[in-house]
Chain A
Amino acid sequence: MTAEKAAGTGPATTPSKPKRASAKGHQLAGYIFISPWLIGFILLTLWPIAQSLYLSFTEYSLLEDPVWTGTSNYAKIFTDDATFTKSLSVTFMFVLFSVPLKLFFSLMVALALNKNLRGMNLYRTAIYFPSLIGGSIAVAALWRNMFGLDGYINQVLAWFGIEGVGWISNPDTSLGTLILLNTWQFGSTMVIFLAGLKQVPQELYESASVDGAGKIRKFISITLPMLSPVMFFNLVLGIIGSFQTFTSAFIITKGGPINSTYMYAMFLYEKAFKHYQMGYASALAWILLSIVALLTLINFAASRYWVFYESDGGKTK
């Protein structure tokens, strides 16, 4: 399934049939083939990651050399930084609402697009189309204009005699607007759901029909369990992605008004590149990493109770 393919790229798929003697040679060849990626990964990803861990224990203004300060960054973050607490709670709120909303919405769209109708490909393309421009700056700028005080949303509301609010300039509604934007960017999640739906064997539905199951019964007893690995994949990626939300907050609201949309990633970015505290920002990055890793592990632990893998003989518990 999609989830396994994405997680297990690389040498796992190389055939391991040949004789023992040449196995080593094959291994070497494998490594040579992936070496461009491997070198890039070590130099451009692993090395900076290690460096950022080092920097998180320093005071580093970018303009001067880093100075080792031990755990003082972490101590300050946990004991004496109201902005950290604020941005973390803003981000948690965002994740808490936007992930389930997006999952639900994209599943509904995927179900609608899974019907065998004439011209369905056209509908699919049309609905996926906005995702091509995706989470870009242009979309964020568009959103800003739509939800501005004199934006299109309020103009439309005015036709019905409703006086709109400043969606993004009011601390009570700004975060909700960003959640809405995130939900609207459902394209790729929806496509993954759609692919998952296509893989559900038709025989299951047919035999359920023979047994007299209705539409809802079929959805609950066949579609949902068969889709659960895909759901799980989307959930994990959705949580990771939402924790890193940056563009929309940065472009649309600048984190404001009064920190109401001050996402963790934006806090981290401003610490590093606006206030010249790269050491502190690195510590923030490692804390975010720990949080996301922990949540992902919890997710995996919990998945045993609800994700259904056909190949495991249908063991869910």
Chain B
Amino acid sequence: MKKPKIRELCEALRSFFSRPFTTTFPLTAHEPAKKFRGKPEYNEDTCVGCGACFQVCPSKAIDMVDEIKDGLGRRILIHHPKDCLFCGECERNCITGDGIKLSRIFDIAYFDEKDVQDRIEHELLLCKHCGQVIGAVKHLTWIRKKLGNLAFSQPVLISRFTGEIRLATGAEESFSGETDRTDILKTVCPGCRRLAFISDEGGER
């Protein structure tokens, strides 16, 4: 402009003498706001492995893998920052309230994605008859605790309860061929329990 007006001149002087708006990140550290939505992180103590975060994630950034090997089950939940929206739906829908929480970590550039993934593993309870997954052990324990006395209506939860207060030898439950009525009270998956309900003591449906 040929003749800058006084207020623009004042503004120019103000800009010249004030601190720049840019910071010197990464040379200086950056402190994000208190409520900043950064990378979600699992909490080893409070996550129960229910998989709610996996179900609600809008961008499918959380993978839930159930591995069964040699009769032992393992559930692995992996969070991928490359797909994450940092929306906080996982935190919001976590059934325990703080199994997964958004941290304030924002600097997650990587060469190898595995360096920034967050994983948590849980032991799975498997059906003693057919080997299918019933659920994560910690999840079932959490449900049992939450239900209190009502937990006694569900045989699997009973076995979780009795398994905790009595030294479990692990060899009590036996099965003979087809499912029969007595299998209702054993640690079985919903599929097997359904078959057990429609059978009689002799295994006849």
B is a partner of A: no
- Taking Cβ atoms with an 8 Å cutoff, the residues of B that contact A are none
Chain A residues within 8 Å of B, Cβ to Cβ: none
